[in-house]
């Protein structure tokens, strides 16, 4: 059982995946014991939200840096003067595909994908705009022992080509877009990652695949790998593993890309939505064999 928190209040979601954290001000540097408890809560619940946290650009950057060194965002243009902040903006009349509107773990095709993503709500629409998270720990743990043993030895192929490639979703999109995304042949890169990832802190195993970035399994033909991937995607996205996160102004949310995937929901056409996003650098994904 997790020890009680002394310096903050943690209210978990019903099944323990995701939690709200109160009793602290992120605009100020956190004392080491408080930061340790934030890290522990993040390990325990994978997704943390911090309600009512007004933050300037500098304050968002400072809190991110307390979690760890900044990550790299390869296919989106950051805010001018703030190279570590990406503005996720959608205007009322926009008809283009939503950024993040496919299930994914951020930049999982990189050699060292980001460990954490932080998203701060600046403008929230009156309806819609939720973010959905899937718990890939419990999705893996729900599989049979035989299936887990099979998956533990596999490596999945990750690539940004389906989204950012010259023939990807964003390249096909003819709608006007408020965000400046990088699209083209440079997004044809691909990298093998462990299909089952061992978390470096919790030491739990999680499925490390997503429908948009995972394009195959190393050593398998497509007709072999795709049915297996489709089965795993369907398992990961069962309702029992999903947390629907509702935003409020000034809310900061931080999630662990090593054991979750997420999806930016819609339902707010005709309204503006603005979020500021940072990432924390991760490590080379670790397999279990």
211-228 tens-digit pLDDT: 999 999 999 999 999 999
- Cβ atoms within 10 Å, residue 238: 12
- What pLDDT, on the 0 to 100 scale, is given for residue 48? 98
Cα torsion through 226, 231, 236, 238, rounded to 10: 140
Locate all alpha helices (DSSP H) within 46-104, ordered by sequence: 57-67
- Average confidence (pLDDT) over 143-168: 89
Strand-strand pairing, 47-50 and 19-22? parallel
197-214 tens-digit pLDDT: 999 999 999 999 999 999
- Reply yes or no on whether 277 is catalytic: yes
**At residue 103, does pLDDT exceed 50?**
yes
Q: How confident is the model at residue 1 (pLDDT cuts 50, 70, 90)?
A: very low
Please state, in angstroms and rounded to a whole number, the distance separating the CA atoms of residues 24 and 35: 10
- What pLDDT, on the 0 to 100 scale, is given for residue 96? 82
Q: 77 vs 259, which has greater pLDDT?
A: 259
- Reply yes or no on whether 250 is catalytic: no
- Average confidence (pLDDT) over 89-118: 93
Which architecture characterizes domain 9-280 according to CATH? 4-Layer Sandwich (3.60)
Q: Which helix (H) or strand (E) holds 85?
A: none
- What pLDDT, on the 0 to 100 scale, is given for residue 171? 61
**At residue 270, does pLDDT exceed 90?**
yes
- What pLDDT, on the 0 to 100 scale, is given for residue 168? 59
- Reply yes or no on whether 185 is catalytic: no
Provide the whole-model pTM.
Answer: 0.94
What's 70's DSSP letter?
Answer: B
18-30 tens-digit pLDDT: 999 999 999 999 9
Burial class of residue 193 (count of CB atoms within 10 Å of its CB; 0-12, 13-18, 19+): buried
Give the C-alpha distances (Å, rounded to integers) separating 267 from 86, 99, 101, 129, 222. 22, 14, 12, 6, 34
Annotated catalytic residue within 84, 89, 106, 199:
106
The single residue listed with the structure tokens 């948009």 is 212
Q: Taking the CA of residue 189 as centre, how many other CA atoms within 13 Å lie in the half-sphere pointing to its CB?
A: 13
For the record, the structure tokens of 210 come out as: 């997503």
Please state, in angstroms and rounded to a whole number, the distance separating the CA atoms of residues 220 and 215: 11
Annotated catalytic residue within 89, 262, 273, 276:
262
Q: How confident is the model at residue 257 (pLDDT cuts 50, 70, 90)?
A: very high
- Cβ atoms within 10 Å, residue 36: 12
- Reply yes or no on whether 7 is catalytic: no
Annotated catalytic residue within 104, 120, 155, 164:
104
- What pLDDT, on the 0 to 100 scale, is given for residue 178? 73
**At residue 163, does pLDDT exceed 80?**
no
- Cβ atoms within 10 Å, residue 126: 8
- What pLDDT, on the 0 to 100 scale, is given for residue 181? 76
């Amino acid at each position: 059982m997790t020890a009680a928190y002394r310096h903050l209040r943690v209210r978990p979601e019903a099944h323990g995946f995701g939690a709200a954290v109160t009793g602290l001000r992120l605009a100020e540097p956190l004392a080491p014991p408080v930061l340790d408890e934030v890290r522990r809560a993040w390990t325990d619940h994978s997704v943390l939200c911090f309600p009512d946290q007004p933050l300037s650009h500098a304050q968002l950057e400072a809190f991110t840096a307390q979690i760890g060194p900044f990550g790299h965002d390869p296919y989106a243009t950051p805010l001018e003067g703030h190279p570590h902040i990406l503005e996720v903006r959608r205007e009322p009349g926009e008809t283009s595909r939503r950024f993040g509107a496919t299930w994914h773990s951020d930049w999982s095709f990189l050699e060292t994908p980001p460990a954490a993503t932080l998203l701060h709500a600046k403008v929230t629409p009156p309806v819609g705009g939720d973010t959905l998270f899937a718990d890939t720990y419990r999705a893996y743990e729900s599989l049979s022992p035989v299936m887990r043993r099979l998956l533990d030895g596999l490596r999945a192929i990750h690539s940004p080509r389906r989204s950012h490639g010259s023939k990807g979703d964003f390249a096909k999109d003819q709608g006007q877009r408020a965000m400046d995304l990088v699209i083209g042949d440079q997004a044809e890169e691909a990298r093998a990652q462990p299909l089952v990832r061992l978390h470096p802190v919790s030491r739990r195993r999680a499925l490390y695949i997503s429908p948009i970035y995972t394009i195959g399994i190393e050593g398998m033909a497509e007709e072999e790998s795709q049915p297996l991937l489709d089965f795993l995607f369907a398992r990961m996205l069962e309702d029992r593993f999903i947390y629907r996160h509702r935003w409020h102004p000034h809310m900061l949310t931080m999630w662990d890309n090593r054991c979750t995937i997420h999806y930016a929901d819609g339902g707010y056409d005709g309204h503006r939505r603005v979020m500021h996003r940072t990432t924390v650098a991760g490590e080379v994904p670790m397999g279990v064999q």
